[in-house]
Amino acid sequence: MKFNLDTLVEEYHSLEKQLSDPEIFKDQKKVKQVATRKKSIEEAVNLYKEYKTISEALDENKQMLAGEKEEEMRELLKMEISEAENAIPKFEDDLKVALLPKDQNDDKNIIVELRAGAGGDEAALFAWELARSYITFAESRGFKTEITEKSESEAGGIKEIIFEVRGDGAYSIFKYESGVHRVQRIPETESKGRVHTSTITVAIMPEADDIDIEIREEDLDVKATKSSGAGGQHVNTTDSAIHMVHIPTWVSVFCQEWRSQHKNREKAYQILKAKLYALEEEKKQQELWEARLAQVGSWDRSEKIRTYNFPQDRVTDHRIWQNFSWIPQIMTGRLDPIIDACALADQQMKLEQAGKTD
């Protein structure tokens, strides 16, 4: 590991040198690649530097202890040796985690899409509740959020909602949420007290920029239409809403949140890029993994990842087979225990895989 880390430090200094050369800024794609790589290894490099400092001090103190005769100085050296010996295993564990392969999208902003699935009005109501929970959670973590599209149902829920979460590391936190979420509860309209099961789908898409993906204008079919509200009634008499279709893939986006056609077109284009980028990432994952070894972090949105059982006050994440209670708090944005548990399971799985390949 020492040899690998020494090589990593050399690479880090080489990347720093490249970024200090004004010539590199003539190629923005190269700038992004170098800056991304530098950031991905920065934590490991800094940890290794601290580790080396403590290890060298430990060796030096042991040598001094061997030749030291004064008892007071020997006790001081023994204490420093003990502190270093206790600290080194923690540094080694932290280094193993820091050296795990990084997801290139972890630092990106995201676009979150929730759609009501099976269950009619109850699914639409839960979709809106979960969306609000995500937004509250994101803002409590210091992220900025903005709803870019919302299609309301007549019962007060939402058929679909799309919103942005902006801030460093947004994708790294929310990426475990993609998939089918199932809710089991008694609807307010249920007179016989029967538990109904509904589903919604969640997609977490890293925001794509022009360097990540290129869209040709001739591949777009863009139409301006009138905005409409719940039930189909028109809420805007001008053609400000935008329906954008990427012809080669038939991926489509509809955006009507703003009165400005230009603003709606800009947001539709941004969402379309994210959707196309997510498709490309999904293809890469399928090519890299012939058989997925773990469900955590999967891009497969067709799988049920979580069940919210209201009568039993239990949320079950089916990928890590872990239960969580206090649904009322979870639905007000207290998602930390679930998301942290998924991240930890993902980390442990990667450490196990890394151990098998060593």
* pLDDT tens-place string over residues 54-81: 999 999 999 999 988 899 999 999 999 9
**Topology (CATH level 3) of domain 110-348:** Alpha-Beta Plaits (3.30.70)
Tokens at 155, concatenated:
């019962």
- More confidently predicted of 349 and 182: 182
Distance CA 141, CA 134 (A): 11
With 0-12 / 13-18 / 19 or more C-beta atoms within 10 angstroms meaning exposed / middle / buried, residue 112 is buried
Q: Which among 184, 214, 127 is positioned nearest to 308, based on CA atoms?
A: 184
Instruction: Please state the separation of Cα 31 from the chain's center in Å.
Output: 23
Task: Reduce the secondary structure of 263-300 to three states and give it as a string.
Answer: HHHHHHHHHHHHHHHHHHHHHHHHHHCCCCCCCCCCCC
Name the packing angle between helices 71-98 and 336-357 (round to 10°): 90
For 341, the token pair is 């548990």
Q: Each residue of 238-284: pLDDT tens digit?
A: 678 889 999 988 888 988 888 888 889 888 888 898 888 888 877 76
Residue 295: pLDDT over 70:
no
* pLDDT score recorded for residue 277: 86
Determine what percent of the chain is predicted with pLDDT higher than 70: 88
Q: Where are the domains of the chain?
A: 2-98, 110-348
E-strand stretches of the chain: 110-116, 144-152, 158-166, 179-185, 196-206, 220-225, 241-246, 251-255, 304-309, 314-317, 322-324
pLDDT at 95 over 70: yes
pLDDT at 231: 43
Does residue 340 surpass a pLDDT of 60?
A: yes
Given a cut of 90, whether residue 50 has pLDDT beyond it is: yes
pLDDT at 28: 85
3-state secondary structure of 202: strand
Res 281: pLDDT: 79
Residue 353: pLDDT band (50, 70, 90) is confident
Tokens of 98: 């820091």
For residue 232, the model assigns a pLDDT of 43
CA 83 to chain CA centroid, Å, is: 37
Residue 221: CB atoms within 10 A of its CB come to: 12
Mean pLDDT of 110-117: 93
Give the predicted TM-score (pTM) of the model: 0.74
In order, the DSSP letters of 12-51 are HHHHHHHHT-GGGGG-HHHHHHHHHHHHHHHHHHHHHHHH
Structure tokens at 253: 């986006």
pLDDT at 236 over 60: no
Task: Give the pLDDT of residue 21.
Answer: 92
Sheet holding 144-152, edge to edge: 144-152, 158-166, 110-116, 196-206, 179-185, 304-309, 314-317, 322-324
Yes or no: say if 269 and 213 are a contact pair by the CB < 8 Å rule.
no
- What pLDDT sits at residue 216? 87
Which range (180-184, 257-261, 280-284, 335-339) has the least confidence? 280-284
What DSSP letter does each residue of 137-156 carry, written as one string? HHHHTT-EEEEEEEEE-TTS
Q: Percent of the chain, pLDDT > 90? A: 51
Mean pLDDT of the 126-149 span: 95
Evaluate if residue 45 carries a pLDDT over 60: yes
Paired tokens of 64: 């001094």
In this structure, of 21-25, 235-239, 293-297, the range with the lowest mean pLDDT score is 293-297
Per-residue pLDDT, averaged over 72-101, amounts to 91
